[in-house]
Chain A
């Protein structure tokens, strides 16, 4: 397995280089360094001298080849430098933002997996009853509602109408939980429709297998059938769906953080694109790629762990 992991990680190198190159080229295709300077300087009409000084200060006065070499070497050494827009060290921003993003992400991730799988098992168990039919109907309904409605709706209902939870804000330490509950609820509820339907199908497919009938015939309890046999065999598609969503969750949710005032990383990339902050964009694209690659390697490892037929060679 170790050899497999090393090989997969080595495969990642050209992918990383490719993504970095594409990011670099796309950014330059989209805007010239002068436009970046103009966007990042505070003045209404920055003078040519101010623009040149900005380009020199940020290293954009060099030939493109030199810029690219510097760009690559800095990224590979994980030296992200400072934001073009604010001059703030990017690592410092990542350090302060990763905690809140991860907390919300972890709660949403585990919460939605647990709740979705449990509900899917329940709906599958009650198959053929009105609960099953209503469950599927509600799932479709939940899938049809846009994410922003969940956010605004939950803020209105839980924050303003019922007054249970704060609408926005954050506190470092244990106090963070109070602020993460509402985003967690939104994250879970919004993913419920699609996830429950998908897991229900997977569970139902497994429940019709011969081994389930055999287990029941042997007198295994329904609880054991569902949790020990069905769930275990349904894990492969569940893992594929969940682990691949990890990088997106780690990078934070733009809308959740934006509406709930969570000081995470979610809006960092979008803000950087809007303000043409190339340093931040390249750092986030690079980290996003690494997380995606790690996610896919982790999925493969989990396959091998849950399914004895899968061997990583």
Chain B
């Protein structure tokens, strides 16, 4: 009886074991997630946290989307890979620097026709550029790129079916673009497609030269050159958008160093070298220290280096981090505040463990500012009187930024003094904001002067309460809110946290229906205008980017003045004046500038993070054979614990089997003699 059951159980277990072993054999019993032999080839393996929402160059905006799209759809300019402070633009598809000339245009103001002075930018593109081969072209062969393809991508921005995030940058400046966009919107309401034939004065082609196009602006706009380095202004073949329609978002057609070879949703995106790519070369100069760091060893060599780039979708940072440690991801994987102690020492250098693995670290400040914003329309914290100003200054002095960075960000940030971050013209490394240096004593002094001695209102006798509106729904977010609240509470202010879903919070912030919040801004381009606009008064209307609704006539005038200027000492002087106005009024508490950390395994060379250019992967060189050897060395399966476990399990079961067998073999005899 017993043996029968045991035999059955044993049979079943054996079957399971055989099946498992079979599956294990099928899988090659290896933790390598890639096809055999592929890691010895020149393929760069990277991780992305999710699918890109779109790969349409006119729509894609996030870093995730950009790091793929910049490699497929280059623009007129690109950022110099190695140069920083300031960032430098160089020509990619452009043949020469654009020519800026005055342009007189006619417009109607108050019912009268007036002639105003604008600016015309003339762009000349390289001859012989070709789109990648794609079925959208006749015989599948990519055709030559002409200036009209650039103008087509500008026209697409005004197509309501293509929600271009930077349309606002062009709409008020390119002559006729606003009217054209309105015309297309009216057509969209009537369910008609956008009109790509309508004349727009601001978009001009040279009838005698198919490689020249002109953009006509109603005022000087030097920042245009930065926008010409973004995929929005990359040439788009109309054949592709007409053939793939909405599917173009998953099938970009460009002329970059790579083309999209495979798109497996939620799994991976594979880019392969584009045979029709525009010839590009590795930079021959860089920053001091770049040569010593080996970043100029490939100077002058043709790009790109890797034959393929595989972007593996890994939603969880921990998984990506483990795969990086196994050697299955080449760089920058799953690294964050949680594992910083494994990577870095307290001094900010690479840990011994990482050094032993040959990992290299590149740390840079990103042009992202995080700030605490006051609602300037709020009756308690807003306003421009001396008392209100002192209240905000007191709160600013109570925030210990370094402690915040150390505790909440594990040191991955640097204290901000003003809204312009390092790397952007106008950033002054020697400037110290008088209301940004943590000083609880001075904070309490100012708080008293503002009418709240020890946080108690002189008028009402009640404790000052500030509502901290946030979207901190994660433990990390709650920790940040908690830490800032504690800092404010240390000077006697009571803080009430109001947490919303992100969409609701966003709505409240842009409607100025809040009191105090934490927010951030990433640079679109490295120009101070892109940051200073955040406090420009008119930008607080129509849910504009001025969240604090700060509206200082002096600041507004200075901003208008510097907006259209090219960089130079005069502009720097205006920026300093503008800074002094904003610092005194204190609509923001400038919290920190973000840090980017880039880790790469020993077989990757030329790795240097660029906070604005997302085409860095084309510069990376991968030593495939070395990677394959290291992976084999790091990932040898260890069978000893499995065998030991099986032995212990069997040994542990044997006494029980004997016990049950004994129990089963017991004979029960009922009679005068009792039980035996």
Contact = CB atoms under 8 A, between A and B. Distances in A.
A261 B314 contact: yes
Contacts of B636: 163
Given A49-B185, A53-B185, 17 more contacts: A30-B501, A35-B503, A39-B502, A45-B545, A118-B9, A125-B5, A126-B656, A130-B656, A160-B326, A162-B639, A164-B24, A164-B637, A166-B33, A168-B314, A223-B7, A261-B319, A264-B266
Contacts of A118: 9, 12-13
Interface residues of A, number: 77
Given A42-B62, A226-B5, A261 B545 contact: no
A178 B28 contact: yes
A170 B53 CA distance: 21
A229 B59 CA distance: 65
Interface centre among A32, A35, A52, A164 (most CB of B within 10 A): A164
Contact of B313 (A48, A52, A261): A261
Interface of A: 30-32, 34-36, 38-39, 41-50, 52-54, 56-57, 82, 85-88, 93, 96-97, 114-115, 118, 121-122, 125-126, 129-131, 152, 155-156, 159-171, 174, 177-179, 181, 221-224, 226-227, 258-261, 263-264, 267, 271, 276
Contacts of B267: 169-170, 261, 263
Given A42-B60, A167-B319, A169-B312, A87 B165 contact: no
A168 B345 CA distance: 29
B635 interface: yes
A196 to B, nearest CB: 14
B243 to A, nearest CB: 16
A263 B322 contact: no
B266 to A, nearest CB: 4
Given A156-B322, A166-B33, A167-B319, A56 B189 contact: yes
For B7, B60, B264, B656, the residue with the greatest tally of chain A CB atoms inside 10 Å of its CB is B656
Contact of A47 (B16, B34, B542): B542
Contacts of B315: 258-259, 261, 267
Nearest to B642: A162
A119 B319 CA distance: 31
B1 interface: yes
Contacts of A167: 31, 33, 319, 322-323, 326, 328
Nearest to A274: B502
B160 A53 contact: yes
Nearest to B29: A164
A263 B1 contact: no
A262 B544 CA distance: 40
Interface of B: 1-2, 4-5, 7-9, 12-13, 16, 23-24, 26-35, 50-51, 53-54, 59-62, 160-161, 163-168, 181-182, 185, 188-189, 246, 249-250, 264-267, 312-316, 318-319, 322-323, 325-326, 328, 501-504, 506-507, 510, 521, 542-545, 635-639, 641-642, 652-653, 655-656, 659-660
B58 to A, nearest CB: 10
Contacts of B313: 261, 263
B325 A160 contact: yes
B5 A222 contact: yes
Given A38-B507, A161-B638, A181-B27, A222 B4 contact: yes
Given A162-B637, A261-B314, A168 B266 contact: no
Contacts of A174: 26
B2 A222 contact: yes
Nearest to A166: B33
Most buried by A among B28, B503, B510, B545: B503
A155 B319 contact: yes
Contacts of A85: 53
A221 to B, nearest CB: 4
User: Chain A's interface: helix, strand, loop or mixed, by majority?
Assistant: helix
A244 B656 CA distance: 35
Given A46-B163, A49-B181, A258-B316, A179 B33 contact: yes
30 contacts: A30-B501, A38-B503, A39-B506, A42-B53, A43-B61, A43-B167, A44-B545, A50-B160, A57-B188, A86-B249, A118-B12, A126-B656, A130-B655, A155-B322, A159-B322, A159-B326, A163-B636, A164-B31, A164-B637, A168-B314, A169-B33, A170-B267, A174-B26, A179-B33, A221-B4, A223-B5, A226-B5, A258-B316, A261-B312, A267-B266
A31 B266 CA distance: 26
Given A31-B504, A167-B31, A56 B160 contact: yes
A163 B188 CA distance: 56
A27 B51 CA distance: 24
B163 A41 contact: yes
A103 to B, nearest CB: 12
A129 B656 contact: yes
A96 B264 CA distance: 9
Contacts of B182: 49
Given A156-B322, A168-B319, A45 B653 contact: no
Ranked nearest first, the 6 interchain pairs of A and B with the lowest CB-CB distance are A178-B27, A43-B165, A169-B33, A263-B266, A53-B160, A166-B33
A177 B22 CA distance: 11
Given A118-B12, A162-B641, A168-B323, A41 B165 contact: yes
Contact of A259 (B29, B160, B265, B316): B316
B264 A44 contact: no
Contacts of B31: 159-160, 163-167
Report which residue of A50, A56, A168, A170 has the largest number of chain B beta carbons within 10 angstroms of its beta carbon: A168
Given A53-B185, A129-B660, A87 B54 contact: yes
Contacts of B319: 155, 167-168, 259-261
Nearest to B635: A163
B316 A87 contact: no
A227 B9 CA distance: 11
A96 B165 contact: no
B326 A46 contact: no
